[in-house]
Structure 1
Amino acid sequence: MEYLIKDLSGQRQYLIDIALTVCLSDSLPCEIRNNILQNYLVTKPVCAWYTGFSIPDFSYTLWLKSNNLSTSSSLNRNELSFLIKALGISKYLKTPECDKEKGVYRNAFNGWNSDCHHHEDFIKRPPIDKSLATCLLSKTCSGVQCCLSVPNIGLSIESFVEISACDHHLSVGIENLQFNRSLHNYSYGQLEKFDLFGFIQIDFIITDLKYNGDGGDYILNLNMSVCMESKHACDPVIPVFVNTLLPKGLCNRNQDFKDKAFSLKTWKTEHGLSIGTPMDIYFVKQLFQDLGVGPYLLDPSEKCDWSVFPFREANTTGWIDGT
């Protein structure tokens, strides 16, 4: 079986080709080829940002007792492996795990390092206990990533939140579990929760100050937490940002094509399309993806239509007199 999956990011769709082949020799073309799907559009499901524990009533204390382990000592590697499996997070963990004393986290002051060089003094960051975590203020000055040490079990977890005003999207991740969300029609000022199956949780509120400063600012309140008991509060809870102003930065609105040499004629030729003929929807979607405009286009149900009111009332010069 052969398959090709293209991610139409921003359009919440995949473009899929699947073919079933029968081959009798490594050196010769396959004798039989049956195209099962070709240029098939699949809409991505809306994923839950907060799921809770995979075992609804999970308790670390009861898990230790059921495995005859002491509640006062750290886990060894084998015991940690069993815990990770029980939590259902194995496939999401990075290898190697982050180290809050090395790499981008090295030589932190008050639990912080920074790649932000233009607004660093302006951005207030609460001190973080270095025994728990070290955080890095991103180069954009509107995001953060942290390496969090989970007490008593010998595991480090990396998580991040990045707000991109110019690209109009919000990125959130814990280890390899990562999601993007469009900021178009985003509900600012509401509590958001994101978790790694209940075990690590991020909760945050983004407030949009559209007219503050040159490009506007965000106020971000952000906590990162370790949760070991489904029926008890998380502990520790690390306040990463508390009413912290983050600058949006000035966006370049006079942008050219992503590909400076883009040509629709060349693009059509590369995709086997004839010049001057209509394109099927899957090619239109691929074109939007390559141009980078997909995330900014309205859904079909919201698009304007010049055959309906009010646009159908236009005069011969294309204008409607609103008086």
Structure 2
Amino acid sequence: MLDIDSCKRNISFTIEKLKFEFSSLKFQWGVKDTLKLGEVVYLDYSFDNMEDEKQFKVSLNISVQFNPGETMFHWVVLQDSPLPKIPCDWNTGFDIEGFSLENWLEKVSIPSGQQLSKLVIATLFEQLGIGRLLNEESCQRSGSKYSPVLNGWKKTCPLDVSLTPLPSPVSCMIPSHCTAVYCCIDVDFLDRSFHAFLDVNMCTNVMTVGLEKLVIDPINLLDYEFGTTKHFNLKGILRITYKIDDLQEEKKLRVSLNLSVCFESSKPCLYDLTVFQDTLVPKPLCDWEADSFFTKNFSLENFMAEEGFDINDILPEDIIRKIIEQLGLSSYLNSDSCSLEYEPDKDGWIKGCFEDVILPDLPADARCYFLSSCLGIDCCLDVDFLKHKFKASFELDTCHHQLHLQIDRYQKTLNLTDYTYGFPIYLETGKKTWNF
């Protein structure tokens, strides 16, 4: 018998009373292999995991030998046959119906609240059916991924996200692309931590959700039903509940996210943690060479005429805010503008580099600093009618073959190993173009 359980991440073969089990998380897809019962029954198989087609491609042969090397019977059961992946119900409870950790500990004569030995923990995980679904190494709240923290949070996203303080057993991290969160939850009596994450990639239109090794197959956001509450559980022990609204006009996501750690069927969970509650998360710019405005067919001249202003007028704050919003720049502007109030050495430049480099003359509304490394510049560029000065910079990292670009809060790092030298680079924010 062959059983592929994609929800439990388990593959099993049964030959008479002999059963073979494999974790699909470690399974070698596409590799031909053989299982045998003694030297008589042989089972030859290969599986391919066809992610895009949502199916498995399976080949399975069975043969019988009574004399070494002499096949008496041979059956081709499946030959590159497609088997559909059955959708999983991720809102499930414990594998053991009515499970209670208190009762389980009492049965093995361990007082509740006592630190458990590694053997007892391994036995507990095995009986709960989560052993093979856990990472070999626990996440580390004190490690560089989650530390240093402020109120339980580490944030490398350059944009504003309003975060509420997290309770002590959990630390969470928001990465540079902003629309993801990774969390690490300590469970002291098990002497380990659990990893959970939600990653919404609006640029590739793919969302992934994971608890330890158990990760939902990538979700296509083009078909996703935003605004609905979803549940994803690891055998009832780790639970993640989330709801995402796509606020297209605001160019933000509204996210609610709860994490729970549970060991009792009929009692409250050990932890029930609110990570996000209707939290507004800005969407990052995806294609930084996109040839379009945030507001389709935007024209500053037409906008000014509709508002009753001329291009040379001094604009009131509310009109400036409207322009910034229509350009999609509000999330990316620094709250404090850079300053032009310093004397340049020559032609708008301050030189930290002492090499003999010829620099162009800068206009009066620009100041630039030539870094001491001689491989980068920091500029302050005044856009007068917006009453904002943009900080723009680039720096070459010759050791790592990278180019770092920045306009206010918008940052981009380019890998130069594949870069065609001699061609200009254009970095755009809301169709404001910067030529590096």
Q: TM-score, normalised by structure 1?
A: 0.67
Counterpart-to-counterpart distance in 2, 1:36 and 1:253 = 52
* Structure of greater Rg: 2
Report the residue type matching 2:132 in the other structure: K
User: Which is further off, 58-67 or 146-155?
Assistant: 146-155
Distance 2:272 2:194 in 1: 14
Residue aligning to 2:196: 159
1:264-323 residue CA offsets vs partner (Å, 9 max, x unmatched): xxxxxxxxxxxxxxxxxxxxxxxxxxxxxxxxxxxxxxxxxxxxxxxxxxxxxxxxxxxx
Q: Distance in 2 between matches of 1:247 and 1:236?
A: 28
Give the one of 246, 261, 269 matched to 1:208.
Answer: 246
| C-alpha distance after superposition, 1:7-44 (max 9, x if no partner) | 33233123334466899xxxxxxxx9986544322211
In the alignment, the residues of structure 2 paired with residue 21 and residue 254 of structure 1 have an alpha-carbon distance, to the nearest angstrom, of 59
* Structure 2 Cα separation of the partners of residues 4 and 235 of structure 1: 42
Residue in 1 aligned with 2:86? 45
1:291 maps to none
Label 1:40 to 1:88 Cα distance change in 2 as closer, same or farther (>3 A): same
1:252 aligns with 2:287: yes
Look up the equivalent residue of 1:128 and give its one-letter code: L
How far apart, CA to CA, are the structure 2 residues paired with 1:72 and 1:33? 57
Tell which has more relative contact order, 1 or 2 (C-alpha 8 A, sep 6+).
Answer: 1
Distance 1:79 1:207 in 2: 43
- AA paired with 2:51? S
> Does the Cα contact within 8 Å between 1:97 and 1:157 map onto a contact in 2?
yes
1:191 aligns with 2:229: yes
Equivalent AA in structure 2 for residue 202 of structure 1: I
2: CA distance, partners of 1:56 / 1:9:
32
Contact 1:123–1:246 (8 Å) recurs in 2: yes
Aligned-partner SS, 2:275 = strand
| C-alpha separation in 1, matches of 2:104 and 2:77 | 47
Pair 1:108-2:146 in alignment: no
Aligned counterparts, 1:211-226, within 5 A: 211-212=249-250, 216-226=251-261
Residue in 2 that maps onto 1:94: 135
- Provide the identity percentage: 29
Give the SS at the match of 1:103. coil
State the match for 1:280 in structure 2: none
Aligned length: 245
- Comparing 104-113 and 218-227, the one that deviates more: 104-113
Instruction: Tell me the amino acid that sits aligned with residue 123 of structure 2.
Output: F
**How big is each residue's C-alpha offset from its partner over 1:107-155, in whole Å with a ceiling of 9 and x where there is no partner?**
2222112332x31xx11222113x3011111232111111111243322
Which SS does the other structure have where 2:216 is aligned?
Answer: strand
Give the aligned partner of residue 264 of structure 2: 229
Kindly provide the amino acid, as one letter, of the partner of residue 50 in structure 1.
Answer: N
Separation in 2 of the partners of 1:238 and 1:151? 16
- Alignment of 1:238 with 2:273, yes or no, is yes
Richer in helix (by share):
1
* Deviation (angstroms), 1:242: 1.7
Q: 1:60 aligns with which of 101, 106, 129?
A: 101
Give the whole-Å Cα distance in 1 for the aligned partners of 2:59 and 2:135.
Answer: 30
The structure in which a higher percent of residues are strand is: 2
C-alpha change, 1:21 and 1:254, in structure 2 (3 Å) is farther
In 1, Cα distance between equivalents of 2:191 and 2:145: 20
Alignment correspondent of 1:5:
47
Q: Please state if 1:15 is matched with 2:57.
A: yes
Query: Secondary structure at 1:104's aligned position in 2?
Result: coil
When residues 239 and 46 of structure 1 are mapped into structure 2, their CA distance, relative to the original with a 3 A threshold, is same
Q: Secondary structure at the match of 1:152?
A: helix
Other-structure match for 1:299: none
- In structure 1, distance between residues paired with 2:101 and 2:263: 5
Is the 8 Å Cα contact of residues 126 and 239 (structure 1) preserved in structure 2? Answer: no
1:194-247 deviation per Cα after TM superposition (whole angstroms, max 9, x unaligned)? 1111111111111111221xxx21111101111111112223211111221122
1: CA distance, partners of 2:248 / 2:48: 35
